[in-house]
Structure 1
Amino acid sequence: MDQMEILQRMALAIAIGALVGVERHWRERDEDEGSRTAGIRTYTLIGMLGGLAGLLERLLGAAGALPGLVLVGFLVTLTAVFALFQYREGVAEHRFSATAVVAAMLTFALGALALIGDTMLASAGGVVLAVILASREFLHRAIKRLRWVELRSALILLTLAFVLRPIVPAEPVGPFGGVSPAKILIMAIVLAAISFCGYIAVRLLGATRGELVAGTIGGLISSTATTIANARRSRQSPAVRALAAGAVSAGGMSLLRTGFLVSAVLPSLADRLLLPLAAGAATMFAGALLLARASATAPPAEREATGQEGANAESASLEPGSPEPKNPFDLASVFKMALLLVGVAFAARVASQLWGDGGLYAASALAGLADVDAVTVTVAGMLPTLDPAVAARALGLAVLANMLAKAAYAGLLGARGFALALAGASALALLAAGASLLLLR
């Protein structure tokens, strides 16, 4: 490490301390001088101290000294002194918090990391630390408004994603390539995450805006899963049009995502597919906006159910004695739907292996019942030896099957109004895509 690099790393350590110090000082900017334990100067010096400790650690380590001795000694001394001053300040002001002590320790550690470790990690850590410190009011309000059903659902979702997922075997089981248990769990996690995000979006934004935003985001992950989740909810909620707006928006986002995927992995088919996909997506988005507007002008009972009263409705729902909210997702139903979607994909693979190349259309249509992305990637791998016209028709069949499947799922699982709204928007999108195909000829 040359001198210029040392200076750059030391500047980063000082900058991290200054960033944290600005947030800490701003929070207590109205305090009299000498009444605060640490402000912008102190935290800047702590960052510099961490950088110097890291530099000494590097130099002494090269000379054969015991690794970590310098860093541990400086950190223990800093923590003890800082905690003492923070304790005296807390006694004087009758408030107690360990945040400032932990912030000082992290600032020191990030300053040391800037000298002896990854500078990108150190700078990112400094920004994250400042953001967390500045988010105190938001986090406290969020915790006050958090309900047990929401916390429980979040914990279940995190357990599925980070505890069960790593230990569930990924190797397929059964004939024809089998079915991967991990894939079933991943699909269940996706379904549960979409339902949970939709629930939170509705709580924050109200049902009409929340469902529209949640549906658009859900379409980036899985429009089929979003449609299934909204369809199930539509049977229990009078906010049918808001839920339909979310599902239709998810369908439009799915078409848009497929267009981007075609551009990335199937550029030779872009001239055949992009215009129809774009026309269909635009029609779906327009339908979603119309449904959202209809929901906003719905009868008073539906507006109240969808949270259109805004802050008043939200605050009322948080008052003591208010009815317990519905579960953000039903785990048993989530796994049933995950098994259904994975089973459909497995059936598509079996059809493809039994019928060979001649079964590509049938396999694409069957796979499209669950997912379009898999067909896009599969066709991309076959394209060097596949007629582009055949590839385009296979992908088109997958998109068509996916849209029809979502309309069928809506009819089977959702309320009548939800199913009709989704079917109508899908039909108009298909007409728009068909009209654009005629223009290309």
Structure 2
Amino acid sequence: MNQEALILFNLAEALGIGLLIGAEREQRMSQTDVKSSAGIRTFAITALLGAVAQLTGGVALLAAAVLGVVLLAGLAYWRGRAENVGLTTEIALVMTVLLGGLSVTQPLVAAGVGVVMAVLLASRAYLHNFVRSVMTEQELRDGLMLAAATLVVLPVLPNQTFGPYAVLNPYLMWSVVIMVMVISAAGHVAARVYGAQYGLAMTGFASGFVSSTATIRDMAGRVHKIPAQLLGAGAGALLSSVSTVLTMALVLAATSLATLDAMAQPLLVGGLVAAMYAAPWAIAALRAPPTLAENVPPGEAVTPVVQTRAISLRAGLAFSVALAAIMLASTAVQQEFGPNALIAAAALAGIVNTQSAAISVALMVGSGQIAPQDAVLPILAAISTNTGMRVALAATLGGAGFAGRVIPGLLLGLAATWAAVFLPVTIPLWG
């Protein structure tokens, strides 16, 4: 592309950004009684002003143009302050001149920021309603905690190993805390979005991203307390096993892609079998009238069974500490007694938490201590013992009806996971 064509492209992009943002502001003025001195033409010209200033005078002239727009926007706000108590249009106008200049030096970035800005402006009613009416104060605090953990704490932690066997890494340990909180938040959002409409089935699926063991325990307790909830609680318990497989894939992808590649076929086959078994029960629960799917005593609502908060820093820290202990024990056992002992250590760890055992084994793959294929049996051993724990909970807490629905699904999923390891052919998972 020659120089003249490139300049025309930059100017066209600046004009497009101005028209996009200006169209949203013009539409906003037409739907309300709020008056504004900046409409679609003003925004388009302002964006072109930024682009031309950058092209002809560089940063210095662009800064002068921005200063001029700031003064004009401030004057317009001062003159109309009795009718307009917001600063959105004025700030958007200043951003538009900056985006016009950015379209000359970084056109892709400018286009992306312009689209995001237009979406934010157009989503005014939805965002206001969400923050004021949907989001709780606790959820806001949880979101701020997650942001601080990710953007403030994580960047300052050292990314190097220390301690016995050189397996502890502060940066990695805190990344695990963040990962647990993100997965918990995703499950909480899913439960908030779907729980009231679809009841225990969708709540169980969402809660399974945090802990399938805890979900099955709580679902069994619900059935023991309210037998009429058997259909929904059974479906939720089965769907939690499906979300556990998805969680396992996510944590392996974040820890070691080589380990995920080695475990992909067992996870895929086991997850598909679990999903196929759970599907009829889930469909029946979703189609059932509320008196069957969500029959609860007066005054008791169907709520998420595991999560009462969006995230839990304590749960993330506990998971990370458990992971560190398992990593130390697994590395010590592997170095002292060989790979067979590693399988036993992973099996014991899996009773408490499958993901922590899988992560510890995957980290050993990442550090070169074991080969990816050597991680398969330890992870399967952890899955097996954890499944055994879930089977025991279903059998002892939920009664015969609950156990008869849930236990066959758990055992079929586990059998399929093991069988996939010994398939005579390999399914081409990655295309």
Q: TM-score, normalized by length of structure 2?
A: 0.74
Equivalent-residue separation in structure 2 for 1:257 and 1:404 (angstroms)? 20
Q: Which runs of 5+ in 1 are unaligned?
A: 59-67, 318-324
Is residue 427 from structure 1 mapped to residue 411 from structure 2 by the alignment? yes
- Which of 406, 424, 427 is the matching residue for 1:440? 424
Which residue number corresponds to residue 274 of structure 2? 284
Q: How do 1:345-424 residues align onto structure 2 when only pairs under 5 Å count? A: 345-356=327-338, 359=341, 361-362=343-344, 369=354, 370-372=356-358, 375=361, 392=373, 394-405=375-386, 408=389, 416-417=397-398, 424=408
Q: Which amino acid aligns with 1:204?
A: V
Which deviates further from its counterpart, 371-380 or 23-32? 371-380
Q: Which amino acid aligns with 2:29?
A: E
Question: Residue deviations 1:74-112, cap 9 Å, x none?
Answer: 112112223333454553xx3321000011111110111
Q: CA separation of 1:381/1:171 partners in 2, compared to 1, >3 Å: closer, same or farther?
A: closer
- Which of 101, 109, 116 is the matching residue for 1:128? 116
Q: CA separation of 1:255/1:128 partners in 2, compared to 1, >3 Å: closer, same or farther?
A: same
CA drift at 1:41: 1.9
Equivalent-residue separation in structure 2 for 1:415 and 1:90 (angstroms)? 68
Is residue 76 from structure 1 mapped to residue 67 from structure 2 by the alignment? yes
Equivalent-residue separation in structure 1 for 2:272 and 2:186 (angstroms)? 24
Q: How do 1:244-263 residues align onto structure 2 when only pairs under 5 Å count? A: 244-254=237-247
Q: CA separation of 1:205/1:104 partners in 2, compared to 1, >3 Å: closer, same or farther?
A: same
Which residue number corresponds to residue 428 of structure 2? none
Q: Which amino acid aligns with 1:429?
A: G
Is residue 85 from structure 1 mapped to residue 76 from structure 2 by the alignment? yes
CA drift at 1:285: 1.8
Q: Which amino acid aligns with 1:227?
A: S
- 1:198–1:210 CA contact under 8 A, matched in 2: no
Equivalent-residue separation in structure 2 for 1:84 and 1:415 (angstroms)? 73
Q: 2:165 aligns to what SS in structure 1?
A: coil
- 1:227–1:247 CA contact under 8 A, matched in 2: yes
Equivalent-residue separation in structure 1 for 2:274 and 2:259 (angstroms)? 23
Question: Residue deviations 1:95-140, cap 9 Å, x none?
Answer: 321000011111110111112x322211111111111111101101
Is residue 344 from structure 1 mapped to residue 294 from structure 2 by the alignment? no
- 1:241–1:417 CA contact under 8 A, matched in 2: no
Is residue 194 from structure 1 mapped to residue 183 from structure 2 by the alignment? yes
CA drift at 1:289: 3.4
Question: Residue deviations 1:297-338, cap 9 Å, x none?
Answer: 3864962679xx9xxx89xx9xxxxxxx94334443442233
Aligned-residue sequence identity (percent) comes to 25
- 2:195–2:202 CA contact under 8 A, matched in 1: no
Equivalent-residue separation in structure 1 for 2:174 and 2:190 (angstroms)? 24
Q: CA separation of 1:194/1:304 partners in 2, compared to 1, >3 Å: closer, same or farther?
A: farther
Which residue number corresponds to residue 61 of structure 1? none
Question: Residue deviations 1:376-418, cap 9 Å, x none?
Answer: 57558869x97xxxx6474144134235326537867999349
Q: How do 1:73-152 residues align onto structure 2 when only pairs under 5 Å count? A: 73-89=64-80, 91=82, 94-115=83-104, 117-145=105-133, 146-152=135-141
Question: Residue deviations 1:351-377, cap 9 Å, x none?
Answer: 222134565655665787424366457
Which residue number corresponds to residue 62 of structure 1? none
Which residue number corresponds to residue 22 of structure 1? 23
Q: 2:309 aligns to what SS in structure 1?
A: coil
Equivalent-residue separation in structure 1 for 2:35 and 2:290 (angstroms)? 57
- 1:367–1:374 CA contact under 8 A, matched in 2: no
- 1:348–1:364 CA contact under 8 A, matched in 2: yes
- 2:29–2:36 CA contact under 8 A, matched in 1: yes
Q: CA separation of 1:130/1:154 partners in 2, compared to 1, >3 Å: closer, same or farther?
A: same
Which deviates further from its counterpart, 295-304 or 7-16? 295-304
CA drift at 1:25: 2.0
CA drift at 1:10: 1.9
Equivalent-residue separation in structure 2 for 1:429 and 1:193 (angstroms)? 26
Question: Residue deviations 1:228-257, cap 9 Å, x none?
Answer: 664686599778546524521223325766
- 1:248–1:422 CA contact under 8 A, matched in 2: no
Q: CA separation of 1:151/1:233 partners in 2, compared to 1, >3 Å: closer, same or farther?
A: farther
CA drift at 1:167: 3.1
- 1:287–1:425 CA contact under 8 A, matched in 2: yes
Q: CA separation of 1:123/1:97 partners in 2, compared to 1, >3 Å: closer, same or farther?
A: same
Q: Which amino acid aligns with 1:54?
A: Q
Equivalent-residue separation in structure 1 for 2:296 and 2:323 (angstroms)? 31
Q: Which amino acid aligns with 1:351?
A: V
Q: CA separation of 1:372/1:215 partners in 2, compared to 1, >3 Å: closer, same or farther?
A: farther
- 1:364–1:394 CA contact under 8 A, matched in 2: no
- 1:86–1:100 CA contact under 8 A, matched in 2: no
Aligned length: 401
Which residue number corresponds to residue 45 of structure 1? 45
Q: CA separation of 1:430/1:228 partners in 2, compared to 1, >3 Å: closer, same or farther?
A: closer
Question: Residue deviations 1:174-201, cap 9 Å, x none?
Answer: 2122433443333332223322322222
Which residue number corresponds to residue 3 of structure 1? 4
- 2:202–2:236 CA contact under 8 A, matched in 1: no
Which residue number corresponds to residue 147 of structure 2? 158
Q: CA separation of 1:254/1:78 partners in 2, compared to 1, >3 Å: closer, same or farther?
A: closer
- 2:323–2:360 CA contact under 8 A, matched in 1: no
Q: 1:176 aligns to what SS in structure 2?
A: helix
Question: Residue deviations 1:9-42, cap 9 Å, x none?
Answer: 222211111111222222234689x964222222
